[in-house]
Structure 1
Amino acid sequence: MSEPVRLRQLEALNALSTSGSVTKAAEQLGVSQPAVSRLLSDLSRDFGFPLYQRRDGRIHLTQEANFLLPEIRRVLDSMAYITEAGRNLTQRKAGHLRIACLPGFATSHLPRVVSGFLENRPGVTLTIEPDRPERILEWIIGQQYDCGITDGFDEHPAIESQSVELRTVCVFPTGHRLAAKSTIGPEDLQNESIIHPRRDSDFSRALNDIFVSQGVTMQSVIEIRQFTGACELVRQGTGVAVVSELDATSYLDRGLDFRPFEPAVPHRLSILRPIHRQTSLLTLEFISAFAESLKPYHH
């Protein structure tokens, strides 16, 4: 074979096989009859054998051409699939997203965002992996995930981040005495058992500083990493907690109530992605959708 076979030549032979004439093959391909004749002639020369014969005014494919047709059609089907897949990727309707997140997000806010994101993207699939902030950081640095949702992130040369500050509220069981308050401060929690994040977290340190500045001792009963876990404990009557309004909202119809906490102690959330790998359009669109979903809770 002197020259590599061109896709258009294969399309011409396939069109000839289904239409039975060069004229109809040309119409099928949207080109002129001489153009199809030239494509077939070149393909016949490249293969080194004739592709068809004329008998009784009709076109008959040769035995060799008929032998090749199944493979040719597989190639054309594959090219059509690749073309459609590329179009879907361009329109962000296909692809796979790998998202690492805090455990609380995997069961609270993130499912709602993902559901809306996938609604018009039937070809998109996702992997959602919850873990602690340290592990999420490792995964994003190692480019194992497309984006990460975490807190307590400062900076890293291998990571690009987008951070937002979210309002925080004091959550308590429905019918609690704190429901009579319009806002809640440290002095209102003087005799309450308090459930709070780990003491080494930025949020927990900021919260404790406010209690100290107002001369109130925080009556710690449980230290827990995630706000959703704190909300569950409050729901069981174990104590009260200061958490992000984002997490508290999902518990409004589940036995909890909340009020704004003052002085404000915003919770900083960060969306991370690897800086040394080109971010896909699908990932950028998801990050945008997730950031948009946080706007109602901005501090």
Structure 2
Amino acid sequence: MAAKAVATSGVNLAMQNMMPQIGFLGAGKFAQSIAKGWMKSGKIPPQMMMASAPSERNLKLLKAMGVRCTNNNKELVETCDVVLLAVKPHMIPTLLKEVGTHINEDHLVVSLAAGITIDFIESKLPVGARVVRAMPNTPCVINEGASVYSTGTSVKERDGPLVQTLFNTLGYCLEGDESMIDAVMAVSGSGPAYAFVAIDALADGGVKMGLPRDIAIKLAAQTLMGSAKLVLESGKHPSELKDDVCSPGGTTIEAIHQLERGGFRKCLIEAVEAACLKARTLNEMSAFSRK
């Protein structure tokens, strides 16, 4: 199945009488980014969210935001309708063993863990558990995220549109086959890190050539943001937009030549490949642990 966007009205979930109680099993940076993004959107208030973690360190920020917090995972599952698995991949088996018996058909379980398949999660939960696998990214915190989700075997008709609505508030969201998810993680899930390295390197170049650091960082960040928007809004292929900047015999084509000599494109392609293969390794490990 090809990736597809699901149309939603974008109005406040509460106005549609669809407002679920949302719980984060895990309260790290990923959970914090998503919670902040939902609050920033103005469509999901903090009182509709809950988070659990064994220590107070990660819960402090969420508490300050008005999100209800607990140290008891079972309490969260018993309180919430939508349960987000927001822990590191290696923690998923232990977490599912702890809360699995408390999950029932009334829950929608949304996994945010890289490399952990829907099939594996379903195998650790009671028969009929409704499972969705989603891969958002950290720009969700400013409602400029990119998310892809896939649905499991027991989801109900309403579950896809609900997930779509939740993640649409965080930016761009589409539904796709689970076979896409590892590549999605490698492109958009890990992609912000590649962009931050690029901004940092551009700023370093500016500093080398005499720009103050703060100005160089702002110019680099704004340039990447503006370029990304131009790709999305113009509908042109990135190569065509690149050609528009490169005058014959000019400074930009000279710079592009240096990027090619340094293997810039090759490095990015191989970075995506490496991240995707790492996720597939996690898939294989989870499949082995199920046997």
Query: When the two structures are superposed, what TM-score results if normalisation uses the length of structure 1?
Result: 0.23
Question: Which entry has the higher C-alpha Rg, 1 or 2?
Answer: 1
- Which protein has the bigger helix share? 2
Q: TM-score, normalised by structure 2?
A: 0.24
Q: Highest relative contact order (Cα 8 Å, sep 6+), 1 or 2? A: 1
